[in-house]
Every structure is written in C-alpha cells, then in structure tokens.
Structure 1
Amino acid sequence: MNWNAFNLYNYKTLACVLFLICHSFYNPTDSGAVQITQSNLDMVLASNEIVFINFYAEWCKFSNMLMPIFDEAADEVTKAGYDTGKVVMGKVDCDKEGAVATRFHITKYPTLKMFRNGMPAKKEYRGQRSVEAFADFIKKQLTDPVVTFGAIKELHDLSEDKRHIIGYMDRRDQPEYDTFRRVAANLKDECQFHVGFGDASQQMHPPGQPIVVFRTDRKKSTEPDETFTGSLLNFEELYKWAQEKCIPLVREITFENAEELTEEGLPFLILFHHPDDNESIKKYKEVIQNELEGEKQNMNFLTADGVRFEHPLHHLGKSITDLPLIAIDSFRHMYMFPDYKEMEKPGRLKQFLLDLYSGKLHREFHYGPDPDQPVLNLEVKVTTPPESTFKKLAPSKNRYTLLRDEL
C-alpha cells in the first residue's frame, strides 16, 4: 500500500469512527422508540392511529430503568409489521420538552400514555412493564373495536354486566359507520360496541337512516335504552354522547383502576357490597343519579366488592357480614354512613356529603354528636377517625418519581 492510499484508508476509517460517535451522541434513538419533540408531535399524532408515548426525565431512576425495556418493545412492534400509519411507540424527554409535558399534564415520571386518532386515552397505561406486555398491549389496541352481529336475536345475549353501544347500519362502507368505528376505537375500554348491516338490522331502522343506541349494564343499572339523536357524520358529537354513556356517574373501583381514581384527587363515596348483591348497587346508583349528580365535581361515586376490599371494612370496624355499607374516604380519614337503610330517604346521603365539606364528620368523630346548645364538657374523650386506606393505592414511590415531591 502506498503512502497516499494508506492516508486515504486511515482518513476513511477515522471519518467512519467519528460519524458513529457523533451519530450515537446526537441521535441515540436510531432504533427503539421515536424521539418526540414539540416540532414533530402533532405530525406523529395525526399520521398514526395509535401512538404510545413514554414521558420521561433522564435524571429519574425509574425512567432509566424503563427506557431499555420500552425501546426493545418498540423494536418488537416494528418487527410485527403493522401497516404504515397504524402504530408508533415514542418517547418525550420532559426536561427538554417542557411544553409537551405541560400540555398533557404530566405529574410523575415515567408516565405512559396512549393516543388514538390524535386523542389521549382517559386512562394511563398501568400494566406490567415488560417487552411482552407492551407488545401485547399494542396488539390488543389494534384489534377491531366493533363486533358484528348477524341477527337481532344475538343482541338478547349481550352481557348485562357491560354497557353497550349498538349500531344499525345499511352497509359497512357508508360514512356513518366510519364515524361509529372511530368512536368505538376510542371508547372500547369503556363500552362494548356492536353493529349489524343490511338484513341483520333492517327491522330496526328505515332504509338509508342508520341509528345508534345505548344499552346500559342492566344487571346493575335501571337506565333505559337511549337512541343517539345527533349527526352520525359528526365525530365530535357522537363521541361526546357515547363518552357520557360509557363512563357512568357511578363507577366500580378495583385494584386495577384505583391508582387512576386516586389521581383524580376527589374524595370517594363508596358503596361496599357483596359480589352477588346487584340490588344495592341499583338503588345506590338511583340515589346518586337523582340527588347527587350536581356533586360530581366534588366527589367520586364508587362501588366496591366488599370481599376483595375487605381490609377497608376492617379499618372501619366492620366485616363482610355487615355488607352493604357506605363510607367516605377523604384520603385523610374514613367515615361511615350511619345506616345503609337510610340511603333512600331523600336528602340523607347528600347531608352526609355536606357534613364532610363542613368538617362536621371530623368534629363529631372526635367529640360526639353536635349538641343543640353549646355545652361545656371538660371530660370529652378525643378519638381519631380511621385513616384512609385508599390513599395507599395512589401512585407508588417505588414505581414513579412524583413531581410534587421534587419541588
């Protein structure tokens, strides 16, 4: 090799090494999740049906633990060969992209959010943090959100534990079905969606006039079926209506959704019931609907399986044999409604909430019932109401860096 050739070889080698070093430094995500910034965020959301984003901070140890797992999962999703525009896994460095973090109300690191058709899902991802779990989650999100029925009689067998949105259509290729399917994709975790075409549903609607109907969870609710009266060509209008129907005023709390419910920051009014007792749930929902709907900005109305949530009962000095019963968890203390049978008396349950707001529940737990006239009692025994048990189901410090603790 002559001197010029030797220098040229060394130059190319050095250039290649420098390129690799620079490429790794300035673009560390040539594989794995796509780096999302303020400049490309809207484009990514608009051009993909599913966008699954890891909001992280480089200084957060939990973010650093998750990052290689999330990147590997992104590679697995890429290998799965989904059609272009179907799905992308991305990540946002919240220190560098503060505007993006603020836009989506990030309050802890790492936060995993899914976006469908450009809209953020109501629920964060709170499942297992493994490559397999992430890949399975994506696969599930891409399954058809609408079940097609071939005859009206099939609708008689729908689960009475679930809420349903049913479409009666002429053809699969009509624009109203496209709107219906998009809404179903966004709310598939809240409701079950069904559709019938042609002969399967013609007796339920006039030709050329498709309709959509809501059916409640009949085992636990008394709401009647309701037909959508707006435009089936207007996504926002149908989505708003379906969202109101699919996400009820009274929800069930489970160990799976407790964290997200605590993050909403509202006290809980909880009916603890036996798992076989649906009647108390119906009565509770009727009272909430008729008397307390105006309090939904101040209180989360919930039902809980008293067998699964036996520990809070013990905290209240009760057991499964005392079900059903009602309690408030304020995230500081728990207060029990005096008598479940009093629930249906007009105004009793609302007064229970008002007594919480005024501090009366806390005061009476300490000092006994308020007297009609001021009485000086120097021998009052001070007690403490049971501490909240549901606050322990809030975001774990063993899984997240909570931003409020970093201030």
Structure 2
Amino acid sequence: MKVAGTREVLTLLAVLVTQHSLVTGNSTVVVTHENVQGLIDSNELLLLSFYTEWCRFSKILEPIFEEAAAKIHQKFPEHGRVILGKVNCDKEEVLADQFNIIKYPTIKIVRNGLISNQEYRGQRSLEAFMQFVERELSDPIKEFHSIDELKGAEVGHGIVIGYFISKDHVEYDTYRRVASLMRNDCRFLVGFGDLTKDLRPPGKNALIFRGDPSIPNPKQSYSEYQGNKTSFKDLTAWIDTKCVPVVREVTFANAEELSEEGLPFVLLFYNKQDLGPIQEFKKAIHSQLENETRVNFLTADGELFKHPLYHLGKSPGDLPIIAIDSFIHMYLFPRYEDIHVPGVLKKFIDDLFNGSLHFNFHSTEESDEKSESTIEPTQLPPVVHESKFKELMPSKHRYTLINRSRDEL
C-alpha cells in the first residue's frame, strides 16, 4: 500500500476542511498553523485576513469578508481556485509572526503557492473584494495576433514576451503561473504557432524581456531567459530582477505600501509638464546607485505632492528637486544638478545613515534660534520640517497598529 507523504496529507486535510467549512455555511476558512501549508499548496489564490477579536477594525471587516467569501465561492466553486481564510492572531501568534503581521486587520495574498510581498489594500467592501478576485483570476497574459501588434505593444516599466509552439505546452503553463504571481510588477505578452516560428529557435519556446524605454541605455534593456522554462522558482526570480524597477513612482494609491517597506524615500519631485528630469534621475540611479538597497528611489508629481514641497520651503515652480524623507524628517538635496556628479548623491544618502543629516538639521535649528533677534523672519533659510510622507503610512483610523516605533536614522 502506498503511504502518502506529509505534504499530500496536509493538502487532503486542507481540502476537507474547506469543504466542511462551506457545507456548514461558514464561507471563510479558519486557518491555523496546522492547515495553512495545505491551503497554500492546493489553491491558486488565497486571501488571508489576519485579525484579533478585540480590534474594532477587524470586527467591522468580519461580516463583509464573510459575505465576500460566500459570493466568491458561488462564482468560483471549483476546488483549487480561490479561498478566503481568516487567522485569529491571538490564537495563532506563530503564524502571525511568520507572515510579519504588524497591524490588524492585514489581508495577505498568496498566489500559486507563494506569499506576495503586496497586501490587499483596497476598499473593504463586497464589490471591491469581488473585483479584486475576478482580476486576480483573469488571464494576466495578453496574446498578440500579428507582428505589428507586437511592435506596438506598450513596454511600461518592462515587458516579458513569450514565443510558444502552442498554448498546451508545459512551459507555457509555468509562464502563465509566474505571470499570475507578478501581474502587478510587469506586463506579459504571448504569441503561438506559426506567428512566432521565426522569433524562436526551431522546435523550442523563447522568453525575452524588453526594458523601460525612459531609461537611456539601461543595462540589459533586452535579454533572453536562458534558464529552465519549467522551473517556476527560476523563472520567477528572473522576471523579478528584470521587471521590478529600481526607480518607482509614488502615488496616493501606493504610498502606504511603499512606506511599510520601512526604507527611507529618496524622492525626485518633478513637473509633469517636463518629464526630462525623470530620465536624468533614472539614469543617475542606474549608473551610480543600482545596487543601493537601503532606500527606495521614487519619483513624485510635484503638483500632487505639493504639501511636502511646501514644508521644504519649495513650490512647484522650484522643480525639479530631490529630497530624502526618513519618516522622521525631510532633508533637501542642495543642488539638483549635482546628481550628474558621481558620488554626490551617494554621499547624501550615506550622510543620512551616518547621522550627518540629522546633526546638520539640529545645528541649523540652533543657528536659526540664535539669529532670530538680528535677522528678519522673511530672510531666514527654510527649515526642514518633520516627515510628511509618514502621514501616508498605515493609518490608525484604518488599522490597529503594533510595533510601529522607529529610531531616527
């Protein structure tokens, strides 16, 4: 008699727990350290709500999440498609730690067996959950049907293009699963059969990457995947290195997510009527600081974020400017033009971490206080105020926050 392995047993138990939960009318699945791996392994998409009984935001979410689970199960009843689960963090402290939960409720996303770095941060409504799941389960790959259509494809931050013999090829299944996982980081195209036969080796499939055209002469702007096309892990790693940009755009929609990464922001504030500085900034970062991992490099529409500019003593008319927001203070880069001088921007970042910017900040404050009696207020240099982007971090009006304290850099 064949004895099932541990993973197979967990998967079977997860399916049985799911079936029992749905039969008894409880549409959300209770997730524990005992069944979590089975659920991860046996479902294409998981939404896991980490909550506590004493968190008022968790209590508000509970009936909405429950109703969404029921509606989603009605629309996608097939086993292995999607599960909405809930984790009681008071009872499952180890599981909460494993998922790095620092606020309640947190909704984690698991796609094709991998825990996403991105959380669900949309509206907490039935309609929003339905739309999110429908989009997540839709095909992330757009098929092109002509070479002209391929040539006219918008690259964005990067695009991966697959040239396949047929749709039922095992390598295409891997490509589809990876694309589903990374749909928010990259764009994906595919062509099949005779249309692609001159674009790939005879009898083989091919995957290529086309890079962000806004970066002048980016490294590896065009490259072909040379690894195992049936390896989900290897292909995911390759696409991650290609598609996740070094410089990202910050908006009100993604600021919470970016801030929760915990890295200070190095921001280029630009005028949307002149996008040239964006290219200059990207070029400088790629050529000088591509391996810098202590900060997030971001571009910000100066009109959209004019409030932080105001607190730097600047206005949209002063753009472009560069600043660091450490989530404690904001520090202004002295001269935008110096980004072209190798080492200057790096020193600015180094000075954040060695404490020089913080020391100079307080020295300026003291100097201003001593000079108040002799200098007119209108003649004083602009004072660096507290961080403005910390106001866009996860809000106490939406979450119960824990372990949020940070020391000044």
Partner residue in 1 for 2:119: 124
**Equivalence for 1:20:** none
Gaps (5+ residues) in structure 2?
Answer: 1-20, 373-379
Contact 2:215/2:283 (<8 A) preserved: no
Mapping of 1:1-400 within 5 angstroms?
Answer: 30-220=25-215, 222-223=217-218, 224-296=221-293, 298-367=294-363, 379=370, 385-400=384-399
Count of matched residue positions in the alignment of Structure 1 and Structure 2:
374
Please say which structure displays the higher CA radius of gyration.
1
- The one-letter code of the counterpart of 1:294 is N
Shift of 1:75: 0.8
Q: Residue deviations 1:185-240, cap 9 Å, x none?
A: 10011111001111221111112221111112313564221111211121111100
> Cα distance, 1:105 vs. partner?
0.7
Change over 3 Å in CA distance of 1:28–1:101 after alignment to 2: farther
| Shift of residue 366, structure 1, vs aligned partner | 3.7
Separation in structure 2 between the aligned mates of residue 354 and residue 293 of structure 1, nearest angstrom = 15
SS in 2 for 1:122: strand
CA spacing shift, 1:396–1:379, aligned 2, 3 Å:
closer
Q: What SS does structure 2 have at the residue aligned with 1:127?
A: coil
CA distance in 2, matches of 1:271, 1:176: 41
Quote the residue 2:5 is aligned against: none
Q: Distance in 2 between matches of 1:222 and 1:318?
A: 32
CA distance in 1, matches of 2:357, 2:325: 12
> 1:294 Cα shift?
3.3
Structure 1 residue 392: Cα displacement: 0.5
Shift of 1:29: 7.3
**CA–CA separation in structure 2 for the residues paired with 1:379 and 1:387:** 21
Q: Using a 3 Å threshold, how does the CA distance of structure 1 residues 405 and 61 change in structure 2: closer, same or farther? A: farther
TM-score normalised to structure 2 length: 0.86
Partner SS, residue 75 of structure 1: helix
Deviation at 1:156, TM superposition (A): 1.9
Report the secondary structure of 2:124's partner residue. Answer: coil
Q: 1: distance between equivalents of 2:338 and 2:148?
A: 41
Distance 2:333 2:109 in 1: 38
Separation of aligned partners in 2, 1:276 and 1:190: 26
Summarize the Cα distance change of 1:194–1:28 in structure 2 as closer, same or farther, 3 Å threshold: closer
Q: Where does the alignment leave 5 or more consecutive residues of structure 1 unmatched?
A: 1-25, 370-375
TM-score scaled by length of structure 1: 0.87
Instruction: Please name the residue that 1:18 is paired with.
Output: none
Matching residue's letter, 2:355: G
What's the secondary structure of 2:283's corresponding residue?
helix
Q: Which letter maps to 1:184? A: A
Contact 2:322 2:333 (C-alpha < 8 Å) held by counterparts: yes
Residues 54-108 of structure 1: CA deviation (Å, up to 9, x unaligned): 1111111111111011001101111214422111111111111112111111111
Whole-angstrom CA distance in 2 between matches of 1:55 and 1:184: 26
What SS is found at the alignment partner of 1:269? Answer: strand
- Measure the CA separation in 1 of the matches of 2:30 and 2:160: 37
The 1:388/1:362 distance shift into structure 2, 3 A limit, reads: same
User: In the alignment, residue 384 of structure 2 is paired with which amino acid?
Assistant: P
Per-residue deviation at 1:361? 2.1
Task: Indicate conservation of the 8 Å contact 2:157/2:243, yes or no.
Answer: no
Distance 2:199 2:336 in 1: 42
Structure 2 distance, partners of 1:84, 1:95, is: 29
Q: Distance in 1 between matches of 2:50 and 2:260?
A: 17
> CA 1:64–1:299 in 2, change beyond 3 Å: closer, same or farther?
same
CA drift of 1:118 comes to 1.2
- Opposite residue 316 of structure 1, the aligned amino acid is L
CA gap of 1:377–1:174, structure 2 versus 1, over 3 A, is closer
Q: Go from structure 1 to structure 2 and tell me whether the alpha carbon gap of 1:291 and 1:27 turns closer, same or farther (over 3 Å shift).
A: same
Structure 1 residues 116, 377: CA separation in 2 closer, same or farther (over 3 Å shift)?
closer
- Deviation track 1:297-355 (CA, whole Å, cap 9, x = no partner) reads x1111111112111111111111111111000011111111111111011111111122
Contact 1:335 1:385 in 2 (8 A): yes
The residue that corresponds to 1:4 in the other structure is none
Instruction: Indicate conservation of the 8 Å contact 1:55/1:94, yes or no.
Output: yes
1:194–1:160: structure 2 CA closer, same or farther, 3 Å change rule? Answer: closer
Q: Following TM superposition, by how much is the alpha carbon of 1:404 offset from its aligned partner in structure 2, in angstroms?
A: 2.0
Aligned equivalents of 2:194 and 2:77: distance in 1?
A: 33
**Same amino acid, percent of matched pairs:** 46
